[in-house]
Amino acid sequence: MKRLPGCSLRGPFHTVSNTTTASTIELLTLTWQRLLQNPAIGPDDNFFDLGGDSALAVQLFSAIADACGQKLPPVMIYHVPTIASQVALLEQRSSTELSPLVLLKSANEGIPVFIAPGLGGGPAEFFQLIRYVDLPHPIYGLQPKGIEGFDAPCERIEEFADFYLRAILRLQPHGPYILAGYSLGGLVALEMARSLVKDGQEIKLLVMLDSYPDIKFLSIRERLLLTAQRANVRVRNFGRPPRPDIRLGGLASRDDISTFAPAFERVRDAAYLALRHYRPTFYPGKVKFIRAAEVSEFPRDPKAIWSHLVGGLEVETVPGDHLGMLTTHYEKLAAVFSRYLDEVAHSV
């Protein structure tokens, strides 16, 4: 790998002399072309639109490290998904605070949609889902604090909510708001909605995707039912290869996870701690709840868990299990989510 002249670091980011801009563009273009096997790539083409994924992002940032002498966290690909933005990052002279907002779908119409990932996850969880949401809403994925390896991660659901809300309010100071969250992210979305309502803001839509509190905060009856259910699942799956219950940031494989560690591990462990300590309290608004058809480690009846904790609950079922509803049956999930957004558009 050709090393860039004058490439150095200041703070957590690389900096490059302005005289090397053309060389940097050329080097990154050649690297992108090789990794993506595409000879026609422009400076403003999006890495993920060209077929890039988390595994290729690891290779890309490894190549940048070879050229510049020190690593950038590969998770930066969500913030700088084009050659032009990567060159700008490499040339900046001081560190920049990373926003947790990652634009997944750009649009000029509709209320922005903010969607929080599951335990240990990140915005990449939603790439496939968002491709099938056709309505003209800008959609932002929320990136957990510390996933880039710089900051300490959040250890309470309320801390997650506050961290995300500060960024959301900078982008959209006033409601109405559309919030969504998958798994643990649904609990975070619920807390964000509670905080906004307390401040007099309007929540136009709150969607929770198969989201439940820790078992110790369920009623005695629901705890017994869930314990028996989990025992039955373990019996059915005896002898089968283990399957991870979560994906760390939407990574393509466990090998990718080791490359991102220990930052991902810290975020995952802190999020698990947050789940263990979170006891939901009453939210006066309405919730659209989407559950997985195949139950395993999570409660079978969302109404038994949430009906007394929210002002209104509408439950809908989509194919797949807790993980598969997002990773395999995303078209069905996107259809339901799109319908909710369409209802919001017609109610404005």
Over residues 23-64, the pLDDT tens digits come to 788 888 888 999 899 998 998 898 888 888 777 887 888 887
Over residues 247-303, the pLDDT tens digits come to: 433 333 444 444 445 677 888 889 999 999 999 999 999 999 999 999 888 888 999
Q: What is the CATH number of the domain that holds 71?
A: 1.10.1200.10
Last residue of a domain, one of 52, 73, 91: 91
Look up the domain containing 81 and give its range: 8-91
pLDDT score at 53: 77
| Boundary (domain end) residue, out of 29, 62, 91 | 91
Question: What residues have CB less than 8 Å from 278, skipping those under 6 apart?
Answer: 156, 157, 158, 187, 213, 214, 217
- 132 plus 21 within the same structural domain: no
Q: Do 168 and 78 share a structural domain?
A: no
Same domain assignment for residues 245 and 292: yes
| 139/212 same-domain check | yes
3 within a domain of the structure (yes/no): no
Whether 130 is covered by a domain: the verdict is yes
Whether residue 2 lies inside any domain: the answer is: no
In the chain, the amino acid numbered 325 is: M
**Model confidence, pTM:** 0.79
Q: Given this model, what pLDDT does residue 22 score? A: 78
> Does residue 336 lie in a domain region?
yes
Regarding whether 136 and 65 lie in a shared domain, the answer is: no
Q: What residue type is 217 in one-letter code?
A: F
Distance CA 118, CA 219 (A): 23
Examine the domain organization and report whether 251 and 323 are in the same domain: yes
Examine the domain organization and report whether 192 and 332 are in the same domain.
Answer: yes
Q: What is the pLDDT of residue 4?
A: 44
- In terms of Cβ atoms closer than 10 Å to its own Cβ (0-12, 13-18, 19+), residue 108 is exposed
Query: What pLDDT is recorded for position 259?
Result: 44
Same domain, 14 and 125: no
Q: Residue 237: what pLDDT?
A: 65
Total structural domains within the chain = 2
The torsion angles phi and psi of 320, rounded to 5 degrees, stand at 100, 175
- Say whether both 66 and 189 belong to one domain: no
> What CATH number is associated with residue 309?
3.40.50.1820
Averages of pLDDT over runs of 10 residues in the chain (348 residues) are 40 41 82 90 88 80 74 76 84 64 86 92 86 89 83 92 96 95 96 96 96 88 84 69 43 42 78 92 96 88 92 95 91 95 83
Residue 230 falls within a domain, yes or no? Answer: yes
How many other C-beta atoms can be found within 10 angstroms of the C-beta atom of residue 176?
15
122 and 12 within one domain: no
Q: In terms of domains, do 314 and 254 share one?
A: yes
In a domain, residue 1? The reply is no
Residues 308 and 181 in one domain: yes
Q: What is the pLDDT of residue 141?
A: 93
Inter-axis angle of helices 21-36 and 83-91, to 10 degrees?
Answer: 140
96 falls within a domain: no
From 56, 91, 126, give the residue that closes a domain.
91
- Residue 194's pLDDT is 96
Label each residue of the chain as H, E or C.
CCCCCCCEEECCEEECCHHHHHHHHHHHHHHHHHHHCCCCCCCCCCCCCCCCCHHHHHHHHHHHHHHHCCCCCHHHHHCCCCHHHHHHHHHCCCCCCCCCEEEEECCCCCCCEEEECCCCCCHHHHHHHHHCCCCCCCEEEECCCCCCCCCCCCCCHHHHHHHHHHHHHHHCCCCCEEEEEECHHHHHHHHHHHHHHHCCCCEEEEEEECCCCCHHHCCHHHHHHHHHHHHHHHHHCCCCCCCCCCCCCCCCCHHHHHHHCCHHHHHHHHHHHHHHHCCCCCEEEEEEEEEECCCCCCCCCHHHHHCCCEEEEEEEEECCCCCHHHHCCHHHHHHHHHHHHHHHHHHC
What integer pLDDT is reported at residue 195 of this predicted model? Answer: 96
pLDDT value at residue 146: 84
Give pLDDT, residue 127.
85
Domain-embedded: residue 47: yes
